[in-house]
Structure 1
Amino acid sequence: MVNVASLLREMACNQPYTRAVVCPLRQNRDRGIAYAHLTFRQLDRESDCLAHGLLRHGIKRGTRTILMVKPSLEFFALTFALFKVGAVPVMVDPGMGMKRMLNCLSESKATAFIGIPLAQALRVCTPGSFKSVHISITIGKQWFWRGPRLEDIRRTPWEPFPIAKTRKDETAAILFTTGSTGPAKGVVYTHGIFDAQVRHIKDRFDITPGEIDLPTFPLFALFDPALGMTAVIPDMDPTKPATVDPERIIELILNHGVTNMFASPALLNRVGRYGQTHSIKLPSLKRVISAGAPALPDNLERFSRLLEPETEIFPGYGATEAMPVSVMGSHEILQKTRRLSEQGYGICVGRVLPGLKVRIIRISDDTIPQWS
C-alpha cells in the first residue's frame, strides 16, 4: 500500500499540535493580518470527517473529482480527504485562461465536482464542459443550483477513516499545467510519484519536521503536510507571481519565522528588488527552492542579499510530475557556472539527484519507437 494520506496521519501522531496549515483571514490596518490554522491533528481529523461524507455521497476509490477551491484550510482538508477515499482530485491552473481551462475540465472525464460558488456557477452556465459530472458539492452558499454543501456532507462526531489501500501505480491526482510551452495537458500523479517526490525533496534539501514553509505555488503546498512542514499560505494571486505585493510576502516570512520558501524566479525578482531597495533581511530562511522557469544569476544574486551568507537558493529542474530531477545551489552557480552562462553556454540545470536515472533522447520530429 502507498497512499500519500498515510504520511499526514503519521505526522498527526508524531507532532499533533504543530500547525499544519496557516491561512490569512483579513488585514487590520492597526494590527496587521489575522490568521486561521489547523494543527496536524486537526487536519487529519477534519479530512477523516470529510472522507466519510464524500464516500456517503458517492465519491469513492477511483472517482475523478474536479476540485475548484482557493488555497485555504478547506483546500487541504478536502484534498487529503479525497486521497484517503482513494478518489482522484482533478486540479486546473486558472491562469491558463477560461477556454483552455474548460477544455481541460472536459477532457478529464470527471464524474464529481467540488467547488466554491463562482466555480459552481461556471459549471451550471457551461454544461457542455461538464457532461460527465453527476455529483456536485458546493463550498459556501448556493446561488441558483441545488445539491449538498460541504457543511452537509461533513460527518460528525469524528471517527477515524480507513485510508484506501492504493497501489503505488494507482492514480492519485490529475494536474493540468498552464501549457505555456504548448497545449495544456493533464499530468498524472500516482501515489508512488507523490511518495518518491516527498522522499527526494526531504533528503536533498535536508527538510525536517517542524519547519515552516511559504509555498507560493498552491499545488506544491500539498507536499508540506507529508513533509511535516507548516504551510503558510500567502495572500496573493498564484497565477501572477510577477505582480505579487512584496510587502505581504516579506511580512509573512518575518511574522512566522519561515524557514523554507518555494517560489518562481518571477516572484524572487519582484521581492528581491523590493528587499534590496529597502535593505530587508530575512534571517529565518534556511533555503529557497525555485522552479517554473530558469533562474538567472542576476536574480539569484539580488535575492541572496536578503539572506544569511550560508543560506542558498536552489533552482530545480524537472517536469511537474518529476520535480526536481536535478538541482544546484546559488553559491556554486554564482561562483562557477555564471561566467559560462554569460558567455552563451546556457543555464546549468545542476546535478541529478541521488537515486534518479536520467536518459537523453535523440532530437527528432518523428515518433520514438524506443527510448534511447
Structure 2
Amino acid sequence: AERRTAVAEFVADIPLSEADVSWNALQKSANNLSNLDVPLLLVWGGRDRVFHDRFLADLLQRAPHADVHRFPQAAHLVPLDEPMAAIASTWLENVLGSNSVAEQPAEDSSGSDSFVAITNGLLSRCNDDEAAFTDRNGAVSWKSLAHEATDIARTLVRAGLSVGDRVAMLVPPSSDLLAASFGVWLAGGVLVVADSGLGARGLRTVLRGAIPKWVFGTSKTLSAAKALGWTPGARMICTSRFPHAISLTTHRSSTAVDLPELRPEFDAAVVHTSGSTGPAKPVRYRHGALAAQRDVIVESFRMSAEQGFLTSFAPFILLGPALGVPCVLPDIDVTKPAELDFDRFARVIESSRVDVAWLSPASARRIVETANGRTIELRLVMLAGAPISTQLASSIAAVTGADVRSPWGMTEAMPITDGVGATTSVVDGTNTGKPLAGAEVMVLSLDESVRQSLPNGEWGELAVHAPWMFDGYDQQWGTEQRSELMVKGQRFHRTGDLGLLDGNGDLHQLGRVQHALFMATRTVPSVLVEDPISTKLGRQVAAVGIGPVGTQVIAVVVQAEGKLRLASAEVTAQVRQCSVFEIAAVLEGELPVDIRHQSKIKREVLAVTASEFLAGR
C-alpha cells in the first residue's frame, strides 16, 4: 500500500467537483481544447476501464478535427497492448510532411444541387397502397411504411435526437427494421449497423466502438444490450415496451415536428464489415454516397418500381424503400441463406411480382440442388457475397432463364462492376464484368516499393474509386491510411482483393491478397490453383500456403464430410494431374465458411488447421 501512495494521491488530486481548487483550471483547459489549431491524434483503448469511450466522445465533441485510432482490444495503457508507435510515427510523418495546421472536417457539398435524399424513394410513395415489403409476417404497404417511418422520426426528434446522433440498430430484419431505419434517417440520425454473425462478444466490441447516443431495438435485443454492456450510456428506443426506454407503443403523438433537411455531407451510417475476411471494420458513409449508390443501382440494373426483387441478404432489404422498389424476404433464417431451396424460392416468385433475385452463393447453390428439373422465370439474378463459379452461375441461369450477373464490390464500395460475364468461362478467376459508369479500377503491383499501376492482363491488388464509395473507417486512422491511395487528387480504396483487367476491360476477381500463396519462386493467387481442380473434381476446394511467407508450399483441401484427413490416393492423383503447380499435400475435410454468406472459405483458419495436421499435432 505504501508503494502506491503516489498513485492514491494522484487520483485524489483529480478535480471531481466544483469544490476542488483546480476545478476551474480544468474547465478552462477543456473549453479551450476546441480552439486548438494544431493537429491532434487520439490513440484509444477500447477496453480501458478508466477512460472509457464516453471520454473519447467528449474529446471529439470538443475537438472534432482530431484523428482517432481506436484499438478495440487495448486497455488502459495502450502501448503495452498494441503497436501504437507505428501509427504515431506515420501520423507525425504526414503532419510534418504537409506542414499543416488543424482544420475542421471538410463539408463535401459536391452534387448538392442535384442531391435527392435516400429517404425520397419511400416518401414519394407515401399514398401508395401496394406492398412495399413482404416477409413471413405478411405484406406492408408503402403508405403504412412511410407513415410509420415519419411517425418514428417525429418521436425521435421530440425526444431530443439531433442531426448526427448515432443510433445502434438492434431490430431484426423486418418491416419494423425498415420503419426504424428510415425513421432514424428522417430525424437526421446515423445508423450503426453490425452483423449478428459477429456473436455477442463481437457485437459488444463494434457497438461500443461506435459510441452511439441511442440504441433502437426490441425488448429482447435491448435486454441483451443492457446485460452484456453493448451500448453503455445510450438512450433506449423500443418497438414495444422496455424499462426506461422510449416506447413506440406509448410515446406516439400526432403533434407535427419539423424534421431536418438531409444534406449530402451529413453522416448517414456506420456499417461494420462481416469479419469474414479479417477483423470487422467500421465503414462510415455519408448521405451523398448512399444517394449515388441508389442511383447507380437503378440505372445499371433497371430496377422496376412495379416488379421488385427478393433477397436472401437481410441487409439488402434497406435497398427496397431507398430505390422505391418492392422487396421480399423469403421465409428463412436470415443467418442461414442455404435454407432457401427451390420450393421456397418458387413460392415467393409466384406469390409476388418480383422479377429480380439478389442471392448469396449458398442460396443459389441450394436452389439448383433442389430444382430437380423444375424452372421458374426471372429477368435478372444477382449473385454476390463471395466469388462465383461459372458452373454455379450457369446452373442458376438454367433454373431461372434469367440474365445472371455477379457484380463485384465490398462494404466500402458496392457495386463496382456490372456483373456481366458470370456465365462466361475464363481461365483466371471470376469474370465480374466491366466497371460501372463513374467507377474506376486500378490494378496495383504487390511490390510496396514499386506500387505502380499494372497494364491489362497482369494481376495485382485492386484499388477503386466511385462517387458511392465510403467516407472512411470510423475511428481507425491507421487502417484508413493503409487502405487509402491518392491518384491525381482522387481518393482510391485499396480493396485487399486480387484481380486483373482483361483486354476487353472486364475485371477478373482472383481472391484476397492474404489468401495468395507466397512461394520461394513466385506468388500465386489461390484461385488460380483452385479453379482447375474444382472444375475437374466437381467439388469445392481450397488451396492454402504451408510455412512462412516467401517459402510456402501448397496444400489443397477438397471438400468432404468429416474431420481433416489425407485424401485418398485416387483423389490425390486427380488433384496433381490437373494442376500446373506443385502440390505438396492433398487433404479432405470440411471447409470452414463465414456465417453471413455461408460461402466465403476461411482460408486463414484452414491454413492453420492444415499446418498443424501435417505437423502431426
TM-score, normalized by the shorter chain, greater than 0.5 = yes
Counterpart residue identity of residue 251, structure 1? R
Deviations along 1:100-127, whole A, 9 cap, x unmatched? 1211111110010111122111122122
CA contact (8 A) 2:406 2:422 kept: no
Indicate which of 148, 153, 159 corresponds to 2:246: 148
- Equivalenced residue count is 341
Counterpart residue identity of residue 229, structure 1? V
Is it true that 1:251 corresponds to 2:347 in the alignment? yes
* Equivalence for 1:312: 403
* Equivalence for 1:239: 335
Is it true that 1:216 corresponds to 2:333 in the alignment? no
Indicate which of 102, 108, 130 corresponds to 2:231: 130
Indicate which of 254, 258, 282 corresponds to 2:376: 282
Counterpart residue identity of residue 9, structure 1? L
Counterpart residue identity of residue 293, structure 1? A
* Equivalence for 1:89: 191
* Equivalence for 1:302: 395
Distance 1:100 1:255, change over 3 A: same
Deviation at 1:69, TM superposition (A): 0.9
Deviation at 1:353, TM superposition (A): 0.6
Q: Distance in 1 between matches of 2:435 and 2:258?
A: 37
Counterpart residue identity of residue 353, structure 1? L
CA contact (8 A) 1:361 1:371 kept: no
Q: Distance in 2 between matches of 1:84 and 1:186?
A: 22
CA contact (8 A) 2:167 2:192 kept: yes
CA contact (8 A) 2:169 2:217 kept: yes
Distance 1:163 1:156, change over 3 A: closer
* Equivalence for 1:4: 118
Q: Distance in 1 between matches of 2:241 and 2:158?
A: 21
Distance 1:132 1:245, change over 3 A: farther
* Greater RCO (CA < 8 Å, at least 6 residues apart): 1
Deviations along 1:146-165, whole A, 9 cap, x unmatched? 322221233337x5x65522
Counterpart residue identity of residue 168, structure 2? I
* Equivalence for 2:209: 107
Counterpart residue identity of residue 254, structure 2? T
Counterpart residue identity of residue 125, structure 2? M
Q: Distance in 1 between matches of 2:295 and 2:258?
A: 24
Indicate which of 177, 180, 183 corresponds to 1:75: 177
Distance 1:201 1:102, change over 3 A: same
SS of alignment partner, residue 246 of structure 2: coil
Deviation at 1:237, TM superposition (A): 2.1
* Equivalence for 2:441: 358
Deviation at 1:318, TM superposition (A): 0.9
* Equivalence for 1:32: none
SS of alignment partner, residue 166 of structure 1: coil
Counterpart residue identity of residue 358, structure 1? V
Indicate which of 111, 117, 137 corresponds to 2:219: 117
Deviations along 1:66-123, whole A, 9 cap, x unmatched? 1111121211111111111110111111012221121111111001011112211112
CA contact (8 A) 2:154 2:259 kept: no
CA contact (8 A) 1:273 1:302 kept: no
SS of alignment partner, residue 284 of structure 2: strand
Counterpart residue identity of residue 136, structure 1? M
Counterpart residue identity of residue 250, structure 1? A
Distance 1:361 1:136, change over 3 A: same
* Equivalence for 1:20: 132
CA contact (8 A) 2:405 2:422 kept: no
SS of alignment partner, residue 207 of structure 2: helix
CA contact (8 A) 2:356 2:380 kept: yes
Deviations along 1:312-367, whole A, 9 cap, x unmatched? 111110112421101233xx443xx41x33xxx12122100122222334425685
Distance 1:328 1:138, change over 3 A: closer
Unaligned runs of 5+ in 2: 1-111, 450-481, 488-617
Deviations along 1:27-73, whole A, 9 cap, x unmatched? xxxxxxxx2x2222222121111111111122221110011111212
Deviation at 1:235, TM superposition (A): 2.0
Is it true that 1:38 corresponds to 2:140 in the alignment? yes
Larger radius of gyration: 2
Q: Distance in 1 between matches of 2:483 and 2:291?
A: 29
Q: Which range is displaced more, 191-200 or 252-261?
A: 252-261
Counterpart residue identity of residue 130, structure 1? T
Q: Which range is displaced more, 320-329 or 261-270?
A: 320-329
RMSD: 2.1
Deviation at 1:242, TM superposition (A): 2.4
* Equivalence for 1:170: 266
Q: Distance in 2 between matches of 1:179 and 1:280?
A: 36
Q: Which range is displaced more, 219-228 or 148-157?
A: 148-157
Counterpart residue identity of residue 391, structure 2? D
* Equivalence for 2:287: 191
Q: Distance in 2 between matches of 1:333 and 1:286?
A: 15
* Equivalence for 1:205: 301
Counterpart residue identity of residue 249, structure 2? E
CA contact (8 A) 1:325 1:352 kept: yes
Deviation at 1:368, TM superposition (A): 7.3
SS of alignment partner, residue 330 of structure 2: coil
SS of alignment partner, residue 442 of structure 2: coil
Q: Distance in 2 between matches of 1:217 and 1:188?
A: 20
**Under a length normalisation based on structure 2, what TM-score does the superposition of the two structures give?**
0.52
